[in-house]
Chains A and B, each alone.
Chain A
Amino acid sequence: MEILEVKELTKIYGKGDNQVIALDHVSFQVKKGEFVAIVGASGSGKSTLMNLMGGIDRPTSGDVIVDGKQIFAMSESSLAIFRRRNIGIVYQFYNLIPNLTVDENIMLPCLLDNRKPDSRKLSKIVEMTGLSHRRNHLPGELSGGQQQRVSVGRALINDPAFILADEPTGNLDSKAGREIIELLMSANRKANQTLILITHDENIALQADRIITISDGRMIRDEVMRV
């Protein structure tokens, strides 16, 4: 069953001589529980693709269908609500709210929905991230790796349709980076959580079920590594 469908996705920045085609008719599908790595050189269009899949940016043409819903047919507010309930995003630079504790940052998508998450579920996620002893700490009191684990926890809290991780290890040392990938893979394997990981690290990409290669805005390869 396809959880994500990317259809002829094109994004063009600028006009006339300044026109840059960041993404050129990219299409693929992702099945439920799949771990997909998107690789490509710097400036190849990976982040643009991620922003479009996450509904943060709008395409020049094409469509993204998440769980059977055309996300760009939605209004901006509906898309924001859809995003917080169905898509978990992990950034390279964590993007945590500095004045919220670990628990609050993880709960943020639920809090924006004016609901408190199940405390057992929250504890499970906190435990999974290995931050049980730091639940009331602020992001500024955590290491980079710990902050990124909070970010992963936040992405998982709503049982999203898929997790989008944009270079989640790019700002971490190798040990912390490994731990994050293990955390994400554990969610993928144990909870059958769909994972789309953008990386330029070949070793990480090789652990995925499938590798999509982007170059100059085009999808040049789609390799299935394991079934």
Chain B
Amino acid sequence: MNILCSFAFHQLKRKKSRTMITAAAIALSAALLTAVVNFAASGNRMLSGFLGSDYGLYGNAYTMLLLIPAAFLAALIIAMSVIVISNAFRMSANERISQFGTLKCVGATKNQIYKTIMYECILLCTGAIPLGILLGYLLSFAGIGVVNLYMEELNVLVRSMMKQVNFQLSFVFSPAALLISLVISLGTVLFAAMLPARKAMGISALDCLRNGGETDTQGYKHTKMILDAKRNIEYQLAKKNVSTNRRRMHSAVTAFTISIMLFVTMSGLKEIAGGIQSYLYQDYGCTVIADYTAKFKNTIHPKTGRRQQECAYPIDAKTAEEITEKLKGYQDTDIYGSGQDYSTYAAILTPQDLTEDMQKVLFRETGENPEIILDVERIILDDKHYREVCKQAKTAYGGIILLNDYKYNDKGTERHIAPLSMTVSTLKLEKADGCLDDITIDGVLKASEIPKELMYPNTNPIRLIVPSEGISLRGYNWMASPEDEDGFMEYARAVLESYFPQNGMDYDKAGYTSRVYGAQDFVKIMNIAIILAAFFLYAFVFLLGLIGVLNVISTVSFQIKLRARELAVLQSVGMPSESVQKMLNIESILCWGKAVIVGLPAGMCIVFIMMRCVKILFPVSFHMPWAAIIITILISFLVMWGTIRISARALKKQNIIETIRI
């Protein structure tokens, strides 16, 4: 064996515990990188199967959707791995610095010193990277197994809403992905080892012989702190040690900081996802929804410049009513039929027509404007429920009823306001082509009086329930709470298929689609997605955190051993071993505190920023993940405290005089 390789091999053999910890960190890093690459490959296979090899129309968007998270996770793993692995090799180089000095004196070149450390790295990689890649494949295999546990349920749900969809995540063994994992893992470890190796090769032989223990001789910083006999000496010494040796513990504190930050961020993300899920959960007062949706195209009217909607296969009110009656035929089920038209009319209003609240909202969004044009939502209901609403609004059958409620997202809080003042009794409506229609409002329902079937998430400011005669719409819903849900769903599918035959074509080709699904299916899908995302993110953060913890254990125990002489000197001048232990405990608290002081606010800031972004889109309630924050604080404290205690215990067995003589 080459002499330099033999030095490296001996060093690995001599420092078994650190070799094991470093190998574990390399293996974990390779495992995580492999798992990320493999998941991207499996995702690619799934999307290719679903969308075609080029991902279809939105190919670039899907590619980004796959690559951006993979690149982000890979960058995080690489950053953490470089910090941790580099630190392990730095410690190894520090231990061997006097050996490097001797080697240099007997004629070893800089390059040979560099190679000694790099051989150590290559020897470690030879075992750890294949093991890590294998572990990565096992992780992705297990992960895909977990996904597939939910996938069938997800497919059933998705199929009931989007026909001809079959998501399947399969384990992919791709030589290209294997090569990518290998190259990235090896590159990361080699780069990490290169940093301390370059530092070690740069030190002169004389410095190696003189300093014999630290490649970084700039590690000690001056502090203004002067020891004061009146104050607790252990605390003062600990504080001085932490501030003068800050570079020695730097990597452990950094790795800890990143772990804390990631854990808090992930917990916050889960809270946000939970908030979105709660917001999307709507009680429509029904358990099954059947709907018809026609394909549409938004165009701009050439004369007026207004937006208009073109729809080839609209549903007319008569057909909708016929279907309502047919659906009622199943075990005499009550059906709530409703259809919405969002795009035919716009209302031309003056500021006086609006309530003060509505004016404030509009002026905040668009500025003051003498003529206000607001989108109108026309709603038609099945005959039975239209009659009920007319009665509730104390108007005759055939009247137009204003639903005087506007729901909007006020910086993350959902607010309901009455848009029109109660004095308004007529409205001037304009079509996209500029034709004007004056209508009379026959009745008004306030927010509290509006049926919950009509309280869906996105609504227009002006909402009118109109008589259904002669109206054709892009879509229509039939809501029901049948006793036999499965039977009703099957029956409803047959009814809709008879009216709107799909003939094996999808929405895009047929120009329309009809669906029958459980009212909470969407929430269930989201719930599955959140569970899966949480599972993977927590597993990721846990494994990445484990790399950080390995680093903390390795660094702290190394530093304690390196300071054995210093601690023995303290004991020789009369410091009891309890006081030494106390000083080390305080040091652990100070280092832990440093990591928490940076990592915790950084994580909370990221969560806060994410929450602000989400609140622009959804009025979700949000709470800081305090439980996760407390768990993070406790676990990180236990790791730091425990490592120092265990490492310091080994020192107790040492003879003070022998240690001082070393």
Residues of A at under 8 Å CB distance from B? 51, 54, 56-57, 76-77, 80-85, 87, 89, 91, 95-99, 104, 108-109, 111-114, 154
Is A89 touching B7 in the complex (CB atoms < 8 A)?
Answer: no
Is A95 touching B101 in the complex (CB atoms < 8 A)?
Answer: yes
Please, how many angstroms separate the alpha-carbon atoms of A95 and B10 in the complex? Answer: 17
Q: List 23 A-B contacts (CB under 8 A).
A: A54-B105, A56-B104, A56-B204, A57-B206, A77-B111, A80-B107, A81-B107, A82-B107, A83-B106, A83-B107, A84-B107, A85-B107, A87-B107, A89-B106, A95-B98, A95-B101, A95-B209, A98-B99, A99-B7, A109-B107, A112-B109, A113-B107, A114-B2
Interface string of B1-33 (1 = CB under 8 A from A): 011000100100010000000000000000000
Is B106 touching A108 in the complex (CB atoms < 8 A)?
Answer: yes
Give the residue name and chain of the B residue nearest to A94 (CB).
Answer: B102
Q: Chain B residues near A87 (CB, 8 Å)?
A: 107
Q: Chain B residues near A57 (CB, 8 Å)?
A: 204, 206
Please, how many angstroms separate the alpha-carbon atoms of A83 and B105 in the complex? Answer: 8
In the complex, chain B residues 23-69 whose Cβ is within 8 Å of any chain A Cβ: none
Give the residue name and chain of the B residue nearest to A155 (CB).
Answer: B106
Interface string of B97-135 (1 = CB under 8 A from A): 011011111111111100000000000000000000000
Q: At the interface, yes or no: B266 with Cβ under 8 Å from chain A?
A: no
Give the residue name and chain of the B residue nearest to A158 (CB).
Answer: B107
Q: At the interface, yes or no: B205 with Cβ under 8 Å from chain A?
A: yes
Given contacts A51-B206, A57-B204, A99-B10, contact A112 B106 (CB under 8 A): yes
Query: Of residues B107, B110, B205, which shows the largest number of chain A Cβ atoms within 10 Å of its Cβ?
Result: B107
Is B7 touching A109 in the complex (CB atoms < 8 A)?
Answer: no
Q: Chain B residues near A112 (CB, 8 Å)?
A: 3, 103, 106-109, 112
- 4 closest pairs, A vs B, by CB? A84-B107, A111-B3, A95-B102, A99-B10
Is A89 touching B105 in the complex (CB atoms < 8 A)?
Answer: yes
| Chain B: minimal CB distance from A49 (Å) | 13
| Chain A: minimal CB distance from B277 (Å) | 60
Is A95 touching B3 in the complex (CB atoms < 8 A)?
Answer: no
Q: Which of B99, B105, B106, B110 contacts A76 (CB 8 A)?
A: B110
Q: Chain A residues near B99 (CB, 8 Å)?
A: 97-98
Is B103 touching A97 in the complex (CB atoms < 8 A)?
Answer: yes
Give the residue name and chain of the A residue nearest to B113 (CB).
Answer: A80
Give the residue name and chain of the B residue nearest to A107 (CB).
Answer: B3
Give the residue name and chain of the B residue nearest to A83 (CB).
Answer: B107
| Chain B: minimal CB distance from A158 (Å) | 9
Interface string of B412-429 (1 = CB under 8 A from A): 000000000000000000
Given contacts A56-B105, A57-B204, A109-B106, contact A97 B7 (CB under 8 A): yes
Given contacts A56-B205, A95-B102, A97-B99, contact A80 B108 (CB under 8 A): yes
| Chain A: minimal CB distance from B181 (Å) | 34
Please, how many angstroms separate the alpha-carbon atoms of A201 and B255 in the complex? Answer: 54
Please, how many angstroms separate the alpha-carbon atoms of A223 and B98 in the complex? Answer: 36
Please, how many angstroms separate the alpha-carbon atoms of A111 and B110 in the complex? Answer: 15
| Chain A: minimal CB distance from B440 (Å) | 96
Give the residue name and chain of the B residue nearest to A51 (CB).
Answer: B206
Please, how many angstroms separate the alpha-carbon atoms of A97 and B209 in the complex? Answer: 13
| Chain B: minimal CB distance from A224 (Å) | 30
| Chain B: minimal CB distance from A213 (Å) | 24
Please, how many angstroms separate the alpha-carbon atoms of A80 and B98 in the complex? Answer: 16
How many residues of chain B get a CB closer than 8 Å to chain A's CBs? 23
Q: Which of B7, B14, B102, B104 contacts A96 (CB 8 A)?
A: B102
Please, how many angstroms separate the alpha-carbon atoms of A54 and B209 in the complex? Answer: 14
Q: Chain A residues near B3 (CB, 8 Å)?
A: 104, 108, 111-112
Please, how many angstroms separate the alpha-carbon atoms of A17 and B325 in the complex? Answer: 104
Given contacts A56-B205, A95-B102, A109-B107, 12 further A-B contacts (CB under 8 A): A76-B109, A77-B109, A77-B110, A77-B111, A83-B105, A89-B106, A95-B101, A95-B209, A97-B7, A112-B106, A114-B2, A154-B106
Please, how many angstroms separate the alpha-carbon atoms of A165 and B112 in the complex? Answer: 25
Q: Chain A residues near B104 (CB, 8 Å)?
A: 56, 80
Is A80 touching B109 in the complex (CB atoms < 8 A)?
Answer: yes
Q: Chain A residues near B204 (CB, 8 Å)?
A: 56-57
Q: Chain B residues near A99 (CB, 8 Å)?
A: 7, 10, 14
Q: Chain B residues near A97 (CB, 8 Å)?
A: 7, 99, 102-103
| Chain A: minimal CB distance from B106 (Å) | 5
| Chain B: minimal CB distance from A137 (Å) | 16
Is A95 touching B107 in the complex (CB atoms < 8 A)?
Answer: no
Give the residue name and chain of the A residue nearest to B99 (CB).
Answer: A97
Please, how many angstroms separate the alpha-carbon atoms of A42 and B105 in the complex? Answer: 22
Given contacts A57-B206, A95-B101, A99-B14, contact A84 B7 (CB under 8 A): no
Q: Chain B residues near A104 (CB, 8 Å)?
A: 3
Give the residue name and chain of the A residue nearest to B13 (CB).
Answer: A99
Is A84 touching B14 in the complex (CB atoms < 8 A)?
Answer: no
Q: Chain B residues near A89 (CB, 8 Å)?
A: 105-106
| Chain A: minimal CB distance from B611 (Å) | 55
Please, how many angstroms separate the alpha-carbon atoms of A112 and B385 in the complex? Answer: 95
Is A95 touching B105 in the complex (CB atoms < 8 A)?
Answer: yes
| Chain A: minimal CB distance from B205 (Å) | 5
Q: Chain B residues near A85 (CB, 8 Å)?
A: 107
Please, how many angstroms separate the alpha-carbon atoms of A99 and B204 in the complex? Answer: 22
Please, how many angstroms separate the alpha-carbon atoms of A216 and B461 in the complex? Answer: 95
Please, how many angstroms separate the alpha-carbon atoms of A160 and B99 in the complex? Answer: 22
Please, how many angstroms separate the alpha-carbon atoms of A80 and B10 in the complex? Answer: 24
| Chain B: minimal CB distance from A163 (Å) | 12
Q: Chain A residues near B111 (CB, 8 Å)?
A: 77
Q: Chain A residues near B102 (CB, 8 Å)?
A: 95-97
Interface string of B189-227 (1 = CB under 8 A from A): 000000000000000111001000000000000000000
Please, how many angstroms separate the alpha-carbon atoms of A87 and B205 in the complex? Answer: 15
Q: Chain A residues near B103 (CB, 8 Å)?
A: 97, 108, 112
Is B109 touching A81 in the complex (CB atoms < 8 A)?
Answer: yes
Query: Of residues A82, A104, A111, which shows the largest number of chain B Cβ atoms within 10 Å of its Cβ?
Result: A111
Please, how many angstroms separate the alpha-carbon atoms of A51 and B105 in the complex? Answer: 9
Q: Chain B residues near A76 (CB, 8 Å)?
A: 109-110
Please, how many angstroms separate the alpha-carbon atoms of A64 and B137 in the complex? Answer: 60
Give the residue name and chain of the B residue nearest to A157 (CB).
Answer: B106
Is B110 touching A84 in the complex (CB atoms < 8 A)?
Answer: no
Please, how many angstroms separate the alpha-carbon atoms of A112 and B111 in the complex? Answer: 11
| Chain B: minimal CB distance from A115 (Å) | 11
Please, how many angstroms separate the alpha-carbon atoms of A163 and B662 in the complex? Answer: 28
Please, how many angstroms separate the alpha-carbon atoms of A112 and B116 in the complex? Answer: 11
Give the residue name and chain of the B residue nearest to A76 (CB).
Answer: B110
| Chain B: minimal CB distance from A106 (Å) | 11
Please, how many angstroms separate the alpha-carbon atoms of A87 and B107 in the complex? Answer: 9
Please, how many angstroms separate the alpha-carbon atoms of A97 and B7 in the complex? Answer: 9
Please, how many angstroms separate the alpha-carbon atoms of A113 and B98 in the complex? Answer: 20
Q: Chain B residues near A80 (CB, 8 Å)?
A: 104, 107-110, 112
In the complex, chain B residues 75-92 whose Cβ is within 8 Å of any chain A Cβ: none
Give the residue name and chain of the A residue nearest to B4 (CB).
Answer: A112
Give the residue name and chain of the B residue nearest to A87 (CB).
Answer: B107
Please, how many angstroms separate the alpha-carbon atoms of A85 and B106 in the complex? Answer: 9
Interface string of B244-255 (1 = CB under 8 A from A): 000000000000
Please, how many angstroms separate the alpha-carbon atoms of A113 and B104 in the complex? Answer: 13
Q: Chain B residues near A54 (CB, 8 Å)?
A: 105
Please, how many angstroms separate the alpha-carbon atoms of A112 and B2 in the complex? Answer: 9
Q: Chain A residues near B205 (CB, 8 Å)?
A: 56
| Chain B: minimal CB distance from A19 (Å) | 18
